[in-house]
Structure 1
Amino acid sequence: MATRNPRRRVTIADVASHAQVSTTAVSKVIRNATGVSAVTKSRIQASIAELGYRPQAAARGMRGRTFTIGLVLPHIRNLFFADILDGLSGQLDNTGYQAIMVQGGDTRKAERQAVDALLDRQVDGIINVAPLASKNRMEEVAKERPFVVLARHERSAAYDSVYDDDEAGAELVVRHLIELGHRRIAHITHQDNSIAQPADLLHIIRAETYKRIMHEHGLGGEIAIATTFYTEQGGYDGARELLARSPRPTAIFAGADQAAIGALAAVHEAGLRIPQDISIAGYDNTLLAALPNISLTSVDQDGFAMGRMAGRLLLERIEGRVSAARFSVAPKLITRRSTAPPPA
């Protein structure tokens, strides 16, 4: 019985012959290097598209680059991470680079395995979102590959950082609730096994800012914090804990939209109305927050801009920049129907 021969893979030599140029010229276009005229580059790109040529990652790795970037996310359930990925993809457009996304998980061991897998696959650089690893571990990785950390506040000469001004963001939402007239304002915060100084972790910064603003307004005695997780279940559990207090809070500030969604479910389950009986505010301004049936007041930290900047900084590192760079996003409050003055 005759067997079908697999289609022969198009080679760089095939592209060169089709475009009537040297293989060196084709290689330069693939690497986005200089030394090829615009006309020739356009002809080569047309040949690549017509022939369906795809460079082999392993071969490119042996020549020094694979034109791949690793993106480590804690998980893929949070819509805010989708905004980061969209921004990164926009930055990588027309650069020849592709992002490889892996899930770091909930433990340092799982995260380390994810990062090691990317290193083993010879990615040209890594972006780690909300890492659990210690600063020393991240600096070790940065010695092997260009490295950008997103959503941690510590300084390092070995890698770049992109982060939100979490103190300013938390202050915006707590002051908003106080200005509406609320006094019994509660907070849902996060817990994890990050190895870092507390002042460098976003959930600690948001919780400490909440407490500071409450004290500044003479509301220290009303401080109520539920420590759970920035997940729907965490928000649900945290809200149930807070609603059981007597008197119950008239407003809840959840440190992430994902937790706020869970809090909304707990409030509805308790037979309470939003915002007539209790106000809910989140953080991240994800797409869900803007849905008319949710209409969640939230802090916008522009995940798209963060992902885009992380990609830009990583490409600069890949191209040879060695000095450390830091980029902070200025948050803004987006008010919607989930917050209103407290009941009389």
Structure 2
Amino acid sequence: MDVPKSAAPTGGNGAVPRPRLEDVATRVGMSTASVSLVLRNAPGPSERTRQRVLKAVAELGYRPDRTASLLASRRSRLLGVMVNIHSPFHAELVEHLHTAAEEVGYDLVLSTQTRTRDEHTAIGTLLAFRSEALILLGPVAPADALAALDRKTPVVAVGRRIADAALDVVRTADEDGIGQVVDHLVELGHREIAYVDGGRGVIATDRRHGYRTAMRRHGLDEHIRVLPGDITEEAGERAAQHLLDSGPPPTAVVAYNDQSAIGVLAAFGRAGIAVPGTVSVAGYDDNALSRLDCFDLTTVSQNAEEQARHAVTAAVERLDGGRTAPREIVLPPRLIVRGTTRTPSRVSGT
């Protein structure tokens, strides 16, 4: 029995074999190299040729075998990203990193930090997956350790200041960001402004220093009050409860990040403390939760999309552009005023 010419060939088990690049080339009467140029959107082929190839691709149902292509070139075209699974801001960064990477022909492989999985393990996983460059979100490793890693694989540190950086850094000016929050509260009339700390690490240190510097700039040295904390909602709740247990709360609280600020809001809400009626509250990051109507949190935007774009660009410049000298990109933070801050309802100290 003859097989109709229009029928697709089948393998020995009856399955239709996957169309190959050679099948597309045969259909349009071109070499596989020329077809490959069209599929990679490379310069050379005319617009008419491109349309012929794309039509054949659609008719045959051809899908490029990315794995085989990468193996042939001995490149993975993967950017390894370390992300803290508990950070909504990191999740937003990853979304923008995906978009930026895809635009330049790269993909991401993610490795997470958790309460039981440290930074060293997360980075090891990224290297095991043949990541060509590493984009580390908020790394805490010593600067010399990161520099040593960069000598083996290009590293971009996102969000963290690294003194005399021997690797690429993309961050916002954290001290200035916290300073903008304090300035805003002082302009509203606040004097008793407490700060919920972010724990150890360079980012937390910079934001804490920004709070102290801004308070002193406004002559509020005697009102400086730093409460222990970390990156979590629970830390914000503990800090707020401590304020409530210590007497009348301050008229304003600034938290290390939005998660901690949301914890402050939760504790004040349970205690019947009106925000912003009795206490104004502000966070940092402008993550997705801060924008919800139920929180409507005054915060500081780090411009996640721009950070992601610069991070991918820095990595690709090292991989494909031949750049070797490290570069630091410092983006200006931006205060976002929402519904959790207003003029204080009582005079400071009463």
Deviating more after overlay: 332-341 vs 23-32: 23-32
Partner of 1:130: 138
Q: Is the 8 A contact 2:24 2:62 kept in 1?
A: no
Partner of 1:237: 238
How far residue 160 of structure 1 moved from its aligned partner, in angstroms, is 1.2
When normalised by structure 1's length, the TM-score is: 0.86
How far residue 52 of structure 1 moved from its aligned partner, in angstroms, is 4.0
Q: Is the 8 A contact 1:58 1:66 kept in 2?
A: no
Partner of 1:333: 335
Residues 54 and 315 of structure 1: is their aligned pair in 2 closer, same or farther, counting only changes over 3 Å? same
Partner of 2:78: 68
Structure ranking higher on relative contact order (CA contacts 8 Å, 6+ apart): 1
Number of aligned pairs? 333
Q: Is the 8 A contact 1:149 1:160 kept in 2?
A: yes
When normalised by structure 2's length, the TM-score is: 0.85
Is 2:211 the counterpart of 1:210?
Answer: yes
Supply the distance in 2 between the matched residues of 1:61 and 1:158 (Cα, whole angstroms).
31
Q: Is the 8 A contact 2:236 2:264 kept in 1?
A: yes
Percentage of pairs with the same residue: 32
After superposition, give the CA deviation of every residue in 1:236-279 in whole Å (9 maximum; x if it has no partner): 12221233223421110001111111110011111111111111
After superposition, give the CA deviation of every residue in 1:41-96 in whole Å (9 maximum; x if it has no partner): 56555555663424343651452322222111122x33222331232233234433
How far residue 139 of structure 1 moved from its aligned partner, in angstroms, is 2.2
The alignment partner of 1:190 has SS state of coil
The alignment partner of 2:104 has SS state of coil
Is 2:120 the counterpart of 1:112?
Answer: yes
Supply the distance in 2 between the matched residues of 1:228 and 1:72 (Cα, whole angstroms).
23
The alignment partner of 1:163 has SS state of strand
| AA in 2 matched with 1:177 | L
Residues 20 and 190 of structure 1: is their aligned pair in 2 closer, same or farther, counting only changes over 3 Å? farther
Supply the distance in 1 between the matched residues of 2:158 and 2:106 (Cα, whole angstroms).
19
| AA in 1 matched with 2:196 | I
The alignment partner of 2:227 has SS state of strand
Supply the distance in 1 between the matched residues of 2:40 and 2:163 (Cα, whole angstroms).
32
Which of 63, 87, 92 matches 1:78? 87
Deviating more after overlay: 161-170 vs 28-37: 28-37
Asked which structure has the greater CA Rg, the reply is 2
After superposition, give the CA deviation of every residue in 1:284-323 in whole Å (9 maximum; x if it has no partner): 1122222222111111111111111111221211112222
Is 2:223 the counterpart of 1:222?
Answer: yes
- 5+ residue gaps, structure 2: 1-11
- 5+ residue gaps, structure 1: 195-200
The alignment partner of 2:151 has SS state of helix
Supply the distance in 1 between the matched residues of 2:152 and 2:35 (Cα, whole angstroms).
29
Supply the distance in 2 between the matched residues of 1:46 and 1:236 (Cα, whole angstroms).
60
CA RMSD between the two structures? 2.6
